[in-house]
């Protein structure tokens, strides 16, 4: 494996610059990115050829993510030990610039798993449905897709659970939760996984030891569910490939999808963990310049750099981003808020959907099979995750790593957006929970307190009452 961006063909760098042209929407603490359809189509065609023909492409992609992800965490982790109060504005600027450098190096090619995932889905999903229809096993779509796209690396959610389990095993040998040894292990656990309540923004809540203790008690009582071994999964994959007569080309595409799914989840965790450390630097800047939280929360990293260099910012304009903020990037950058932003969005992307209260059944894409019933809880952003109780149905526009505490409690997941390589799909398969994605309107139709049946064997959500 080669260890730098140079391992990629120059075309990928050209595509990276192409995807700098985008529309970035921030609404209700929810971040969405839209690209031009022609750019997406051009990349999809190139990406699929690369996956089919370049034998070392996926290894290079993994290597790039792992090396640059490690570099970003190793640099930002040192913020834990720095007293930023004692640093000059120039020193704070240097820290910001270096953080941005490592962050950008990882970001340069992380568009590949995001957009590549949709390209793969458009090919493998209809192929799998067609193969299943030939043997009258259409109901096996979710189960077979989960197996065929298996990748033998643990998700952040599983790694966090296993870390807690190691602490639980020490407690079982006679230690108490208040023992200094256990407290030290919990501090280390927080350092590794405290970011799981933090969103994609640079500011927000970081989990503390007390937040993990309740789950630690559950793990002490119930243990962890066993994961199927890699050898067992490989055998299942062989059986399905033989049963469906999947050719070599599509065997490769299914495996590529598994890699892409893992890298998307890995990337999200790395970014969010780096935000956990960056929090410390940003909070010092906010304190030094008397910036209220509701202003700092909506600032871009470049604006924090401007601030420590003496540039005056219009806090009222930044605060106005709270409701509806649109950032259009082309040859130049343009910023719009509220009504002006909505008009630009409607022109560039499409009409904003109206709420429909008369629909009693929704359909979407099966991400993880199963059939359950439960009470709906709508999660708009991180501030809503405490609404989720055991066996509720989590409904969101999309899920992200900061939703993991709620996802562990929920009995099923339903999302407006996302494909078979999205965060909700990845986590639901590992947690073995029913999940339906891509409904488009779930958060607009469903309401907190609705009782629904989630049939992820058919991709249907029914409102019971």
Looking at 310, 326, 352, the residue that finishes a domain is 352
**Using an 8 Å Cβ cutoff, are 121 and 419 in contact?**
yes
Assigned domain for 235 exists: no
Does residue 229 sit within a domain?
A: no
Q: How far is C-alpha 445 from the chain's CA centre?
A: 24
Last residue of a domain, one of 327, 352, 377: 352
368 shares a domain with 344: no
Say what the pLDDT of residue 86 is.
Answer: 96
Per-residue pLDDT reduced to its tens digit, 369-415: 999 999 999 998 888 888 999 999 999 998 988 888 889 899 999 99
How long a stretch of residues is the chain? Answer: 465
> Does the pLDDT at position 435 exceed 90?
yes
Q: In the predicted model, is pLDDT for residue 270 greater than 80?
A: yes
The confidence score (pLDDT) of residue 355 equals 47
CA-angle at 219, arms to 215 and 221, nearest 5°: 115
pLDDT tops 60 at residue 28: yes
Best mean pLDDT range from 4-18, 106-120, 184-198, 447-461: 447-461
Query: What mean pLDDT do residues 437-456 have?
Result: 91
- Over residues 143-173, the pLDDT tens digits come to 899 899 988 888 888 888 889 889 988 998 8
Residues 140 and 28 in one domain: yes
Task: Provide the pLDDT for residue 87.
Answer: 97
Lowest mean pLDDT, pick from 25-29, 75-79, 118-122, 457-461:
25-29
Q: Is the pLDDT reported for residue 16 higher than 70?
A: no
pLDDT exceeds cutoff 80 at 49:
yes
**Residue 238 included in any domain:** no
pLDDT in tens, 214-259: 888 888 887 777 767 888 999 999 999 999 999 999 999 999 999 9
Q: Is the pLDDT of residue 427 over 60?
A: yes
In a domain, 285, yes or no: yes
Could you give the CA distance from residue 251 to residue 241 in angstroms, rounded to a whole number?
8
- Quick one: 395 and 323 in the same domain? no
Q: Do 450 and 314 share a domain, yes or no? A: no
Specify whether 184 is located in the same domain as 251: no
| CATH (domain of 446) | 3.50.30.10
Residue 91 lies in a domain: yes
- With a pLDDT cut of 90, the percent of the chain lying above it is 40
Encoded tokens for 87: 């640093």
Segments forming the whole domain that contains residue 407: 361-463
Residue 127 to residue 253: CA distance in whole angstroms: 11
User: Please, which pLDDT band fits residue 307 given cuts at 50, 70 and 90?
Assistant: very high
pLDDT at 9: 55
Q: Is residue 15 part of a domain?
A: yes
307 lies in the same domain as 443: no
- Give the other-Cβ count within 10 Å of 158's Cβ: 16
Are 193 and 341 contained in the same domain?
no
Question: In angstroms, rounded to a whole number, what is the distance separating the alpha carbons of residues 347 and 78?
Answer: 45
Q: Give the mean pLDDT of the chain.
A: 85
Instruction: Answer positive or negative: Cα dihedral of 212, 213, 218, 221.
Output: positive
| 169 plus 268 within the same structural domain | no
Q: What is the reported pLDDT for 42?
A: 84
Residues 47 and 14 in one domain: yes
The span from the first CA to the last CA of the chain, in angstroms, equals 55
Q: pTM of the predicted model, to two decimals?
A: 0.83
Domain boundary among 301, 322, 352: 352
Q: Judge whether residue 37 has pLDDT over 90.
A: no
Check whether residue 176 and residue 296 sit in a common domain.
Answer: no
Q: What HEC string does the chain produce?
A: CCCCHHHCCHHHHHHHHHCCCEEEEEECCEEEEEECHHHHHHHHHHHHHHHHHCCCHHHHHHHHHHHHHHHHHHHHHHHHHCCHHHCCHHHHHHHHHHHHHHHHHHHCCCHHHHHHHHHHHHHHHHHHHHHHHHCCCHHHHHHHHHHHCCCCCCCHHHHHHHHHHHHHHHHHCCCCCCCHHHHHHHHHHHHHHHHHHCCCCCCCCCCCHHHHHHHHHHHHHHCCCCCCCHHHHHHHHHHHHHHHCCCHHHHHHHHHHHHHHHHHHHHHHHHHHHHHHHHHHHHHHHHHCCCCHHHHCCCCHHHHHHHHCCCCCCHHHHHHHHCEEEEEECCCEEEEEHHHHHHHHHHHCCCCCCCCCCCCEEECEEEECCEEEEEEEEECCHHHHHHCCCCCEEEECCCCHHHHHHHHHCCEEEECCCCCCCHHHHHHHHHCCCEEECCCCHHHHCCCCCEEEEECCCCEEEECC
- Same domain for 206 and 293: no
pLDDT digits (tens, 9 = 90+) for 311-334: 999 888 888 887 788 877 776 666
Q: Indicate whether 190 and 101 sit together in one domain.
A: no
What are the backbone angles phi and psi of residue 241, rounded to the nearest 5°?
Answer: -60, -40
pLDDT band per the 50, 70, 90 thresholds, residue 4: very low
Q: Is residue 236 part of a domain?
A: no
Q: Is the pLDDT of residue 1 over 50?
A: no
Q: How many domains does the chain fold into?
A: 3
Residue 164 lies in a domain: yes
Q: What is the structure's pLDDT at 7?
A: 46
């Amino acid at each position: 494996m080669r260890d730098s961006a140079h391992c990629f063909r120059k075309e990928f760098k050209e595509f990276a610059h192409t995807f700098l042209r985008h529309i970035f929407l921030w609404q209700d603490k929810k971040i969405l990115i839209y690209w031009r359809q022609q750019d997406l189509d051009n990349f999809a065609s190139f990406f699929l050829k690369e996956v089919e023909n370049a034998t070392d492409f996926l290894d290079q992609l993994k290597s790039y993510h792992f090396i640059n992800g490690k570099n970003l965490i190793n640099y930002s982790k040192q913020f834990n030990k720095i007293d930023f109060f004692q640093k000059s504005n120039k020193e704070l600027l240097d820290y910001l610039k270096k953080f941005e450098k490592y962050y950008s190096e990882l970001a340069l090619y992380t568009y590949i798993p995001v957009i590549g995932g949709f390209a793969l889905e458009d090919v493998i999903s209809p192929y799998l449905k067609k193969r299943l229809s030939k043997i009258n096993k259409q109901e096996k779509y979710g189960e077979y897709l989960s197996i065929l796209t298996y990748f033998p690396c643990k998700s952040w959610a599983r790694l966090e659970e296993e870390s807690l389990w190691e602490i639980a095993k020490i407690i079982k040998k006679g230690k108490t939760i208040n023992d200094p040894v256990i407290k030290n292990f919990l501090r280390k656990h927080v350092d590794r996984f405290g970011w799981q309540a933090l969103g994609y923004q640079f500011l927000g809540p970081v989990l503390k030891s007390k937040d993990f203790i309740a789950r630690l008690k559950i793990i002490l009582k119930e243990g962890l569910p066993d994961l199927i071994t890699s050898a067992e999964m490989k055998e299942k994959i062989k059986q399905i490939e033989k049963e469906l007569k999947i050719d070599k080309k599509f065997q490769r595409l299914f495996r590529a999808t598994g890699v892409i799914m893992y890298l998307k989840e890995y990337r999200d965790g790395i970014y969010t963990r780096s935000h956990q450390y960056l929090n410390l630097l940003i909070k010092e800047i906010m304190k030094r310049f008397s910036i209220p939280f509701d202003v700092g929360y909506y600032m871009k990293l470049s604006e924090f750099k401007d601030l420590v260099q003496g540039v005056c910012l219009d806090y009222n304009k930044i605060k106005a981003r709270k409701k509806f903020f649109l950032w259009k990037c082309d040859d130049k950058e343009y910023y719009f808020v509220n009504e002006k932003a909505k008009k630009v969005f409607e022109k560039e992307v499409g009409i904003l959907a109206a709420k429909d209260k008369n629909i009693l059944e929704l359909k979407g894409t099966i991400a993880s099979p199963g059939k359950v019933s439960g009470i709906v809880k709508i999660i708009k952003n991180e501030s809503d995750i405490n609404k989720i109780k055991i066996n509720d149905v989590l409904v969101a526009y999309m899920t992200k790593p900061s939703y993991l505490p709620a996802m562990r409690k929920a009995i099923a997941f339903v999302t407006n957006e996302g494909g078979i390589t999205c965060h909700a799909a990845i986590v639901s398969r590992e947690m073995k929970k029913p999940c339906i994605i891509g409904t488009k309107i779930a958060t607009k139709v469903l309401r907190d307190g609705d009782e629904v049946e989630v049939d992820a064997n058919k991709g249907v959500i029914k409102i019971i009452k």
